[in-house]
Amino acid sequence: MLKNQPLSLYIHIPWCVEKCPYCDFNSHAVKEAIPEANYVTALIADLDADITRFQLQNRPLHSIFIGGGTPSLFSADSIESILSQVLSRFEHKKDIEITLEANPGTVEADKFIGFFNAGVSRLSIGVQSFASDKLIKLGRIHNSDQAKTAAQLATMSGVTSFNLDLMHGLPNQSIENALDDLKTAISLNPSHISWYQLTIEPNTIFHSKPPKLPVDDILWEIQDQGVKLLNAAGYQQYEISAYAKPGYQCQHNLNYWQYGDYLGIGCGAHGKITLSDSNKIMRTVKVKHPKGYLDDERDFLDQLLEVDETDRPFEFMMNQLRLHSAFNTQQFEQSTGLSINTVMPIVKAAQAKELLTVESINNIDYWRVTSTGKRYLNDLLEMFL
């Protein structure tokens, strides 16, 4: 039986100072003054349209994530205006997780404190590397000292937790370079570290002019030694690229990976909503370009799609199997509206290949990705296509 899932909200702010050569997100380099006030008004109108469209008036809000682009380009007053209007429309816990992405090159001490006073409880700081040559290659506008200062300011700002975003497998990066970056991040004592491998995506500068990246053997050694470093420092890996101190997992991203629901407002934002009454799962995509999104004569919604039942098993697995935690029959059936028998032949085949393992607790089966499955995750996911 399909059941409504926890509801999160993603808010997209598309502007940044410069477009990074590896970035395939919907972001636009600032060429003139950002229309903050108009965009805030549009975001709330977009939200109200979704609330009405999907009749979400009585759904509690699980978490909020403000991403980009570079949301920290906005003033604390604008962020406070957005959050106060959003929270007035939903029931929510007093300590709801509210994350804001920040760039070390665009923030100052008073801005971090201002974001905290505006209601932000978690900062996610896009460091990517602490090596000057790597930052230049990645097109980042901050330097190593600014990155370290940003982490220190986050600690003092009052937020409950903060994350450092860090990449490895960078152009011409050695094992030692990558581990030095990680050691520096750990020394700054964030509650959460997102540590992920650089990938070359279509429609990016790196795709048209590919840099020289480390070979697979070096990448595997970086990953292996890096995980050991993080574990020794008290960070637990709970997802492919997410490491947290106990109790500091990102609740918003966990909801994504557990195939939860989320509204997406702002330029190009994606959403996914379960409608249990009609046995439907819907996906939304908003107008991508700021000019179109801010056009009063145009609808914010660009696409409204229903997820076919045949696609739901793959979507569920594509998210859930990123996690190191297990999933059970009830989670699959309530998230997809399908019987677990729909995928049992594939699950059994994955067990036979030692990509999944099963454990029975109180007569309930729990499936978990094995260490082999983590290494060959794409092969495992392809089994569910």
pLDDT tens-digit profile of 56-89? Answer: 999 999 999 999 999 999 999 999 999 999 999 9
The CA-atom distances, in angstroms, between 8 and each of 61, 187, 316, 329 are 6, 32, 17, 23
Q: What pLDDT, in 10s, does the model give residues 271-283? A: 999 999 999 999 9
Q: Do domains 7-255 and 312-382 have the same CATH topology?
A: no
Q: Which numeric CATH code is attached to 7-255? A: 3.20.20.70
For the segment 330-345, the average pLDDT, to the nearest whole number, is 96
Please identify, in words, the CATH class of the domain defined by 312-382: mainly alpha
Report the pLDDT value the prediction gives residue 28, as an integer from 0 to 100. 87
Report the pLDDT value the prediction gives residue 96, as an integer from 0 to 100. 98
Q: How confident is the model at residue 109 (pLDDT cuts 50, 70, 90)?
A: low
User: Up-side HSE of residue 232: CA atoms within 13 Å toward CB?
Assistant: 10
Domain boundaries along the sequence of the chain:
7-255, 312-382
pLDDT for 228 beyond 80: yes
For the segment 215-221, the average pLDDT, to the nearest whole number, is 95
**Highest mean predicted confidence (pLDDT) among 24-28, 122-126, 358-362:** 122-126
pLDDT for 106 beyond 80: no
The CA-atom distances, in angstroms, between 330 and each of 3, 45, 235, 327, 366 are 10, 36, 29, 8, 10
**Highest mean predicted confidence (pLDDT) among 25-29, 312-316, 362-366:** 312-316
Q: What pLDDT, in 10s, does the model give residues 304-319? A: 999 999 999 999 999 9
**Which neighbouring-strand residues pair with 327?**
367
For residues 98 and 63, give the distance between their C-alpha atoms in angstroms, rounded to a whole number: 6
Mean pLDDT of the chain: 95
For residues 273 and 281, give the distance between their C-alpha atoms in angstroms, rounded to a whole number: 6
Q: Give the global pTM.
A: 0.96
Report the pLDDT value the prediction gives residue 233, as an integer from 0 to 100. 98
The CA-atom distances, in angstroms, between 385 and each of 174, 282, 318 are 36, 19, 10
For the segment 39-63, the average pLDDT, to the nearest whole number, is 98
For 83, the token pair is 């959050």
pLDDT above 90 as % of the chain: 86
For 254, the token pair is 């966990």
The CA-atom distances, in angstroms, between 211 and each of 137, 206, 207 are 9, 6, 9
pLDDT above 70 as % of the chain: 99
Q: What pLDDT, in 10s, does the model give residues 192-207? A: 999 999 998 898 888 8
